[in-house]
Amino acid sequence: MRLTLSQEEARQVVGLATDLAARYGSSEDPEFVANASVHAHDLPIRLRLALNQFRLFEPQTAILRVAGYPISDEEIGLTPSHWKERQKHCIPVKEEIVLMLMGALLGDAIAWATQQDGALVHDIAPIKAHEKEQLGSGSAQELTWHTEDAFHPFRGDYLAMMCLRNPDRVPTTFAGLEVSGLDDETLDLLFEPHFTIRPDESHLVKNRIDPITGQALTDAHSRIDEMNTRPAPISVLFGSRETPYCRLDPYFMDPPENPAAKEALDRLIDHMDSRLEDVTLEAGEVCFIDNFMAVHGRRPYKARFDGTDRWLKRLNITRNLRLSREARPASESRLLM
Ligand SMILES: O=C(O)CCC(=O)C(=O)O
Ligand SMILES: [Fe+2]
């Protein structure tokens, strides 16, 4: 599903973002974060209706693309060479605010203490030292398809990505789940807890920048380490039998011990492989992926490392903030420890 903002709608979005940027100064401002779902009522009605439908009707297409937000390539400044450089670059506050506002119509944004120093809005841009890694900041290797934060029980219901620039038209990959082609026995096995998923590299201590920022963060990393060494058994499908939800990240999954379960998983992986398609995001385009109904990744590319590279902003969104209350310091806090 793709919606293109009309010129009038785009003007309305820009006007709102400009006002809010002046009022709050940052997309991470706690007051803005708390008020985002209310300010989102001032987005164009057609956009609000589309996001509401996407949330409620859970279309099997599982992706909603919103195009037509005007980006000034000059105004957003250079692509940062590392997400930790954020403060040193000009921060595209308006664009981050737009992403937060649209996302607020699907749920509440969440941040991981163990990822990008706890930022809500992530930078996805190539990092030279990560060139060959399985990370959003990698480039030379295909980022194999996955559920975002598949290993974690508090992973987002949605992943939102806003494209700031993509000069070499590097595709994101995407596949919606559709199980009508799978036999009953395979489905039974996929709905049973035969599987494990380890944390992806982005959450591991080696990708943390500040050596220690308090006991809470150290504890958060210990919990992630525990999930790495002793991942809990899970089912990869859950919810409705006809239109299931899924939780998959084959790169970080060990083959199940049960041979029938292994075969069922292989079948599902082949099935997703065969459905994988390219989605090339354009500057100003925002895409919302249903993280329970689809997987995504990125094709390999040759990064430039000169400030003109592909640059996306990423947001994780939950429909139920309460689910993770034990992992957050306060009811309104978005930081998962
Ligand atoms: O770069 C992309 O298009 C997707 C990146 C991604 O999957 C991620 O960072 O989790
Ligand atoms: Fe991802």
pLDDT in tens, 163-193: 999 999 999 999 999 999 999 999 999 999 9
143: CA distance to ligand 2 center in Å?
8
- Return the pLDDT at 212: 47
DSSP 87: G
Residue with the smallest CA separation from ligand 1 atom 10 is 136
Identity of residue 79: T
Is the minimum distance from the CB of 136 to ligand 1 under 6 angstroms? Answer: yes
- What distance in angstroms lies between residue 243's CA and the mean position of ligand 2's atoms? 22
Residue 314 CA: nearest ligand 1 atom is 9
In a domain, 96, yes or no: yes
Return the structure tokens found at 200.
């992806």
How much is the pLDDT for 87?
A: 67
For residue 214, pLDDT beyond 80: no
336 located within any domain: no
Longest Cα–Cα distance in the chain = 59
Residue 330: inside a domain: no
CATH of the domain at 64: 3.60.130.10
If one counts the domains in the chain, the total is 1
Q: Is 286 a member of any domain?
A: yes
What's the domain range around 198? 2-322
pLDDT digits (tens, 9 = 90+) for 249-308: 999 999 999 999 999 999 999 999 999 999 999 999 999 999 999 999 999 999 999 999
For the segment 140-167, the average pLDDT, to the nearest whole number, is 97
Q: How confident is the model at residue 224 (pLDDT cuts 50, 70, 90)?
A: confident
Using an 8 Å Cβ cutoff, are 157 and 318 in contact?
yes
**Does 327 map to a domain?**
no
Residue 322 has pLDDT above 50, yes or no: yes
Give 211's pLDDT tier (boundaries 50, 70, 90): very low
pTM (global) more than 0.75: yes
Q: Which of 33, 32, 49, 268 is nearest to 147 (CA)?
A: 268
In three-state secondary structure terms, 31 is helix
- Residue 148 Cβ < 6 Å to ligand 1: yes
- Residue 278 belongs to a domain: yes
Q: Is residue 335 part of a domain?
A: no
Closest residue by CA, ligand 1 atom 3:
172
Does residue 58 lie in a domain region? yes
DSSP assignment string, 169-220:
-PPEEEEE---TTS-HHHHHHHTSS-B--PPPGGGSGGG-SSS---HHHHHH
CA of 159 to the centre of ligand 2 (A): 8
